[in-house]
């Protein structure tokens, strides 16, 4: 029996007050719609159909690689009208169709799977939850235990508004019946919209079984309608991630002050101080310590390395036992070996630094290959760009570059070379020798300072 997943994403999201379509707003660095697609990908659906409308071009382009099909709903005349548009695209009349909302991002795959099982191609299964404040939601109206209907808030009587059990916007239905029910919907209601929720009363009238399954948590069924709700859900999601990290043994100085926008994989005895942001795929080895206010994106940091506060690391790898920061910047292609020291106001881009190399103060290493135990002095830089092309700097083992040097690439410094401070080198420096390239110092004996 084939499973179809329909994700409703055509609505305008007026309350976001944004030019960006609502489902493209990001939660933990990933669009709301992408979160829903990720949950749905785990279900092995035969077809995934995204209903687009408002901002359809942008929405479709944003998730083009997902394998989902798109069905457009123009204009948007309600959730029932949305599903009507998907009817021709639904596969296998004997199967089940799961309806998800593009603005309910944290739905768990397990919950969706359980709902599909509750439907099992025969029953209309509704995902519900009890809320302390149910206003705005469709209420689950029961007769005894049996579900009779969903009544939208705007159409509900005072007695119905007192019901706290609400429809989450997520349901699983037998595909053939769903097609029949949605095509029979009318828009005779307070909003003059075609309500998908009206199919519940139709199912009851048909004698079909209607079941309600309770969601595991409020967080997984909360929708995003406003910036406030988006921020609230972000905090809940970040809290969940922080708790999972701490359960795995990671020591967070404050679980309320970490943001993970992607995946963070940690070894044992990792410590993370406050206000750190992790983006993309980040791996931290055993015993790694991350100081306060660091931003780390797409990076691997090996065992025992210490990242001091206010460092920015992106597309880089840091070897075991290395020290980085405070105020260091590692950019794409920075590859630090073991025991490397990168100090304050040092920028490293597309460069490898071998075991024990140090650049401790105010330096730039771009497109450089740096040997073992090199000491790169304060204020020294590689001049890697000639205005048109980038060139490489190669620094051998045990080289000592003094302070305030400019190495004009392409250039090679041989093993054991020493470069005198203040040198601007445009030619290679031989191994083992002192190379100095600066004006000779002179003092004028008869010189008199001008008088006022
Ligand atoms: C809907 C439910 C309500 C439920 C609530 C849960 C209906 C009639 N009501 O109300 O019972 O408690 O969700 O959050 O279904 N959409 C379209 N096309 C449209 C209208 C909406 O694709 O023409 C999409 C929206 O983009 C959104 C989803 O459907 O992703 C839900 O629409 P929304 O307007 O938020 O419905 P609610 O009024 O919240
Ligand atoms: Mg809504």
- The pLDDT tens digits of the residues spanning 135-171 come to 999 999 999 999 999 999 999 999 999 999 999 999 9
Note the pLDDT of residue 91. 86
| Contact predicate 339/355, CB 8 Å | yes
pLDDT at site 94: 84
**Shortest-distance atom of ligand 1 to CA 7:** 30
Ligand of minimum distance to the alpha carbon of 7: 1
Measure 80 CA to ligand 1 centroid, in angstroms: 9
* CA-78 nearest atom, ligand 1: 23
Q: What is the pLDDT of residue 279?
A: 98
Residue 200 has pLDDT above 90, yes or no: yes
Distance 430 CA to ligand 2 centre (A): 70
Three-state secondary structure along 102-168? CCCCCCCHHHHHHHHHHHCCCCEEEEEEECCCCCCCCEEEEECCEEEEEECHHHCCHHHHCCCEEEE
> Which ligand sits closest to the CA of 222?
1
C-alpha–C-alpha distance, residues 367 and 195, integer Å = 60
Ligand 1 atom 29: residue of nearest CA: 8
pLDDT in tens, 278-301: 999 999 999 999 999 999 999 999
Reduced to 3 states (helix: H, G, I; strand: E, B; else coil), residue 340 is: coil
Residue 186 CA to ligand 2 center (angstroms) comes to 20
Q: How far is the CA of 385 from the centre of ligand 2 (A)?
A: 52
pLDDT over 90 at 89, yes or no: yes
Distance 169 CA to ligand 1 centre (A): 7
Percentage of the chain with pLDDT > 70? 100
Residue identifier of the C-alpha nearest atom 13 of ligand 1: 169
Mean pLDDT, rounded, for 56-73: 97
Structural domains in the chain, sorted by start: 3-221 (3.90.550.10), 227-435 (2.160.10.10)
118 confidence band (pLDDT: 50, 70, 90): very high
Query: How many whole angstroms separate alpha carbon 428 and alpha carbon 149?
Result: 82
DSSP for 27-81 reads ETTEEHHHHHHHHHHTTT-SEEEEEEBTBHHHHHHHTGGG--EEEE-SS---HHH
**pLDDT reading at 1 higher than 90:** no
**Pocket test residue of 59, 79, 166 for ligand 1, highest count of atoms within 8 A of CB:** 79
Q: Which atom of ligand 1 is nearest to the CA of 194?
A: 8
Distance CA 442, CA 17 (A): 68
The rounded Å distance from CA 79 to ligand 1 centre is 5
* Catalytic residue positions, numbered: 361
At 301-315, the pLDDT tens digits run: 999 999 999 999 999
Residue identifier of the C-alpha nearest atom 22 of ligand 1? 10
Ligand nearest to the CA of 78: 1
Strands (DSSP E) contained in 189-340 are 210-214, 251-252, 258-266, 271-272, 276-284, 289-290, 295-301, 306-307, 312-314, 317-318, 323-324, 329-330, 335-336
The stretch 199-213 carries a mean pLDDT of 97
Residue closest by Cα to atom 3 of ligand 1: 138
CB of 82 sitting under 6 A from ligand 1: yes
12 alpha carbon, closest ligand: 1
Compute the average pLDDT of residues 185-191. 94
Mean pLDDT of the chain: 97
pLDDT (average), residues 222-247: 97
Q: Is 102 in the pocket of ligand 1 (CB under 6 A)?
A: yes
Whose C-alpha lies nearest to ligand 1, atom 1? Answer: 169
What are 336-345's pLDDT values in tens digits?
999 999 999 9
Predicted pLDDT at 92 = 73
Atom of ligand 1 nearest to the CA of 82: 18
- End-to-end CA distance of the chain: give it in Å, rounded: 99
What pLDDT shows up at residue 250?
98
Report the alpha-carbon distance of residue 296 to residue 282 in Å, rounded: 7
For residue 76 and ligand 1, the question of a CB distance below 6 A is answered with yes
Q: Is the CB of 165 under 6 A from ligand 1?
A: no
């Amino acid at each position: 029996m084939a499973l179809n997943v329909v994700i409703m994403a055509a609505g305008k999201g007026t309350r976001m007050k944004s030019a960006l379509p609502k489902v493209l707003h990001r939660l933990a660095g990933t669009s709301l719609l992408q979160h829903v697609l990720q949950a749905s990908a785990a279900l092995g659906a035969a077809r995934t159909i995204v209903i687009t409308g408002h901002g359809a071009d942008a929405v479709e382009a944003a998730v083009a690689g997902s394998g989902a099909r798109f069905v457009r709903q123009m204009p948007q005349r309600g959730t029932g009208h949305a599903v009507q548009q998907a009817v021709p695209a639904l596969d296998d009349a004997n199967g089940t169709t799961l309806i998800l909302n593009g603005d309910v991002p944290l739905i768990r795959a397990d919950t969706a799977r359980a709902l599909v099982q509750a439907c099992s191609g025969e029953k209309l299964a509704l995902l519900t939850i009890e809320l302390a404040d149910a206003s705005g939601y469709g209420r689950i109206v029961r007769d005894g235990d049996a579900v009779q209907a969903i009544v939208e808030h705007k159409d509900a009587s005072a007695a119905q508004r007192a019901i706290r059990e609400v429809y989450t916007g997520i349901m699983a239905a037998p595909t053939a019946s769903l097609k029949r029910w949605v095509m029979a919907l009318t828009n005779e209601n307070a909003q003059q919209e075609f309500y998908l929720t009206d199919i519940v009363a139709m199912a009851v009238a048909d004698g079909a079984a209607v079941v309600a399954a309770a969601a595991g948590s409020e967080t997984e069924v909360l929708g995003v309608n406003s910036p406030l709700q988006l921020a609230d859900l972000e905090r809940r999601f970040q809290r969940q991630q922080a708790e999972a990290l701490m359960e795995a043994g990671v020591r967070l100085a404050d679980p309320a002050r970490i943001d993970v926008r992607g995946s963070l994989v940690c070894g044992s005895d990792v410590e993370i101080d406050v206000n750190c942001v992790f983006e993309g795929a980040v791996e931290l080895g055993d015993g790694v310590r991350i100081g306060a206010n660091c931003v780390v994106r797409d990076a691997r940091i090996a065992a025992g390395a210490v990242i001091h506060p206010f460092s920015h690391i992106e597309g880089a790898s840091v070897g075991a036992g290395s020290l980085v920061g405070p105020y260091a910047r590692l950019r794409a292609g920075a590859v630090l070996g073991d025991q490397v020291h990168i100090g304050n106001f040092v920028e490293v881009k597309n460069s490898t630094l071998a075991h024990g190399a140090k650049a401790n103060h105010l330096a730039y290493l771009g497109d450089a290959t740096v040997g073992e135990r090199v000491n790169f002095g304060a204020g020294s830089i590689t001049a890697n760009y000639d205005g048109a092309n980038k060139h490489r700097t190669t620094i051998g083992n045990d080289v000592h570059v003094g302070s305030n040097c400019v190495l004009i690439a392409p250039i090679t410094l041989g093993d054991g070379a020493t470069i005198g401070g203040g040198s601007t080198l445009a030619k290679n420096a031989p191994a083992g020798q002192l190379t100095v390239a600066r004006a000779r110092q002179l003092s004028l004996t008869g010189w008199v300072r001008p008088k006022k």
